[in-house]
Amino acid sequence: MRPHSRLTSNQSKKFVERRKTRYAITGALAVAVVGIGVFFLWEFTHLRALQISDVEISGADNDISPLLKQAALATLEGDYAGFFPRTNIFLYPRSAVAKAVAAAAARIDSVKVDRAGLTALAVSVTEKSPAALICPYLPDWNGTTLSEDGSAPCDFADASGHVVRSAPSFSGQAYNRYYVPALNDLATTSGSLTGLYATSTAEFAALQTFYDGVRAAGIAAEAVLMKDRGEYELYAPNPAGDTVVIYFNDSRPFSEELANLVSFWTQLSSDARSKNERLDFDYIDVRYGSNVFYRLVK
């Protein structure tokens, strides 16, 4: 093996030292460049002209618009990793803002968030369409007539049975009406059920289909009472004028009970008209298959 000379050894040491120095300088320059870049980026993201200072809400009723705006602004508070502001118009958390606004009110169906210039956000929302009225108490009767004067508070529910807001007082059949006294203990101190479910979504959808089917058959359903253990009462006006109570339950498919009810109602109404007789039901019971039980008012 060829022995190393002292000159070769000294040259090797100098080479290693120069390489270390070069690496140190390169590293220092890289750190400086990154630091300068972060500094300028920090300065840029903190420019007042690029900070969100307002949120514009559209599509929501006036009673919840301030709540939605507050939820959106709260989401913009703070910084990313303690450096970059969440209020920066280019860095704001779009999905988090939309999620916070949607969670702020039960009636919100969809949320869209866009920039409105460089200092504001435009948040447009779509509210859920009311599908039914939910009343957390027993129905009120005026003799043999169901009273729907609208004096007691009810709430709107969407198609899933989710109670989305308080309803104004009104009468009529613009919406399917459900009496659900089991919800009374769950209502807030103001009587509102907002945020609760009237029942499971599957049960509610099935009841809605039954209710709508009754009306489509020409029976002017006025309301449904939801009782315990899958038992229900449907209220509808008699051909003679008073209210008849129609009993049904979930022991059989609602579609089967609906078909039996419609067939029975159509047949007896036709017979009464042909005989020029007054048809005045006290109750109708469709819980036992094709054998429909009923009693007439005497």
Q: Is the pLDDT of residue 257 over 70?
A: yes
Q: What is the CATH number of the domain that holds 179?
A: 3.40.50
Q: Is the pLDDT of residue 189 over 70?
A: no
Find out whether 116 and 89 touch, Cβ atoms under 8 Å. Answer: no
| Within-domain flag for 64 | yes
Q: How many domains does the chain have?
A: 3
| Within-domain flag for 170 | yes
Shared domain for 30 and 52, answered yes or no, is: no
Residue 223 is predicted with a pLDDT of 94
For residues 228-255, average pLDDT: 92
Residue 5 — pLDDT band, cuts 50, 70, 90? low
Q: What is the CATH number of the domain that holds 95?
A: 3.10.20.310
Residue 35 is predicted with a pLDDT of 66
| Within-domain flag for 9 | no
Shared domain for 146 and 287, answered yes or no, is: yes
| Within-domain flag for 87 | yes
| Within-domain flag for 285 | yes
What gap in Å lies between CA 90 and CA 49, rounded to an integer?
12
Average pLDDT score over the chain: 86
Q: Is the pLDDT of residue 190 over 90?
A: no
Shared domain for 40 and 52, answered yes or no, is: no
Q: Is the pLDDT of residue 3 over 60?
A: no
Residue 37 is predicted with a pLDDT of 66
Residue 191 is predicted with a pLDDT of 61
Shared domain for 180 and 292, answered yes or no, is: yes
What gap in Å lies between CA 35 and CA 29, rounded to an integer?
10
* Tens digits of residue pLDDT in 20-50: 777 767 776 677 666 666 666 666 677 888 8
Shared domain for 38 and 87, answered yes or no, is: no
| Within-domain flag for 4 | no
Shared domain for 100 and 137, answered yes or no, is: no
Which residues form the domain of 76? 48-127
Shared domain for 59 and 24, answered yes or no, is: no
* Tens digits of residue pLDDT in 115-147: 999 999 999 999 999 999 999 989 887 766 777
Q: 191: phi > 0 → left, psi -120 to 50 → alpha, else beta; which?
A: left
Shared domain for 145 and 282, answered yes or no, is: yes
| Within-domain flag for 205 | yes
The dihedral through the CA atoms of 36, 40, 46, 52 has a sign that is negative
Give the residue from 84, 103, 127 where a domain finishes: 127
Shared domain for 136 and 278, answered yes or no, is: yes
Residue 297 is predicted with a pLDDT of 84
In sequence order, what DSSP letters do the residues of the chain get, joined into one string?
Answer: -PPPPHHHHHHHHHHHHHHHHHHHHHHHHHHHHHHHHHHHHHHHHT-GGGB--EEEEESS-TTTHHHHHHHHHHHT-SEETTTEETTBTTT--HHHHHHHHHHH-TTEEEEEEEE-TTSEEEEEEEEPPP-EEEESSPPEEETTEEE--S-S--EEE-TTSBEEEEPPP--SSSSEEEE-GGGGGGS-TTS--TT-BSS-HHHHHHHHHHHHHHHHTT----EEEE-STTEEEEEEE-TTSSEEEEEEESSS-HHHHHHHHHHHHHHHHHHHHHHT----EEEEE-SSTT--EEEE--
Residue 142 is predicted with a pLDDT of 75
Residue 188 — pLDDT band, cuts 50, 70, 90? low
Residue 238 is predicted with a pLDDT of 86
Any idea which of 99-103, 149-153, 223-227, 231-235 has the lowest mean pLDDT? 149-153
